């Protein structure tokens, strides 16, 4: 099974982010837009895991969540990864209590590493992937000046998801929700 942990976003955030679709579709390159129901803030991509390792993953996530306080995030600006060269991902940034989300991310990384799940040593940048650039050159200028409504999101927990690939892309199935304190 292919797994990741994430913060689920609410419907007001989804509706606001869906308004970027015309902007992204206007790009002079091939863009694959993430379906609105799949939008989330990834905390840790775990990757392929065996069913018999699921209990350890759940335990690691529950421990991280039960030792983390609730916090508030806000929608930030649009951006791309990588920052230099040819962009491959268009994302919406996250503002607000970045210290809390980074601390939660670090706890999840550390707890999962204790069970043998490889650490991601890149700097964590909380974001919501809006689209993947599949071909051609994406013009960063399209994003300049585009303002998202800085809605607040009260983060009460984290979710462990299974990602199932199909002909339409990916379906995300929640496996476990862990509440923050």
For every residue of 91-158, DSSP letters joined together read EEEEEE-HHHHHHHHHHHHHHHHTTTPPP--SPP--EEEEEEEEES---GGGGTT------EEEE-EE
Residue 145 has pLDDT above 90, yes or no: no
Residue 157 has pLDDT above 90, yes or no: yes
Beta bridge partners of 40: 8
Residue 169 has pLDDT above 90, yes or no: no
Residue 168 has pLDDT above 90, yes or no: no
Query: What's the mean per-residue pLDDT of the chain?
Result: 95
Span 95-106, pLDDT tens digits: 999 999 999 999
User: What does CATH list as the number for 2-179?
Assistant: 3.90.1140.10
Domain ranges of the chain: 2-179
The residue written with tokens 């995300």 in the block is 172
| Average pLDDT of the segment spanning 154-172 | 94
Residue 137 has pLDDT above 90, yes or no: no
State pTM to two decimals. 0.95
Residue 21 has pLDDT above 90, yes or no: yes
Span 28-72, pLDDT tens digits: 899 999 999 999 999 999 999 999 999 999 999 999 999 999 999
């Amino acid at each position: 099974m292919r797994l990741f942990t994430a913060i689920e976003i609410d419907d007001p955030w989804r509706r606001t982010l869906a308004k970027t679709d015309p902007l992204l579709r206007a790009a002079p390159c091939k863009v694959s837009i993430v379906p609105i129901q799949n939008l989330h803030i990834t905390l840790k991509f775990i990757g392929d895991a065996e069913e018999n390792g699921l209990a350890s993953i759940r335990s690691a996530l529950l421990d991280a969540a039960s030792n983390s306080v609730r916090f508030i995030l806000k929608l930030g600006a649009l951006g791309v990864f990588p920052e230099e060269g040819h962009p491959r991902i268009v994302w919406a940034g996250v503002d607000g209590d970045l210290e809390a989300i980074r601390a939660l991310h670090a706890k999840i990384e550390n707890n999962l590493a204790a069970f043998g799940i490889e650490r991601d040593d890149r700097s964590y940048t909380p974001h919501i992937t809006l689209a993947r650039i599949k071909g051609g050159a994406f013009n960063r200028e399209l994003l300049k000046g585009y303002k998202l409504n800085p809605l607040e999101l009260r983060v009460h927990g984290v979710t462990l998801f299974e990602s199932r690939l199909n002909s339409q892309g990916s379906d995300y199935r929640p496996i476990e929700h862990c509440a923050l304190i």
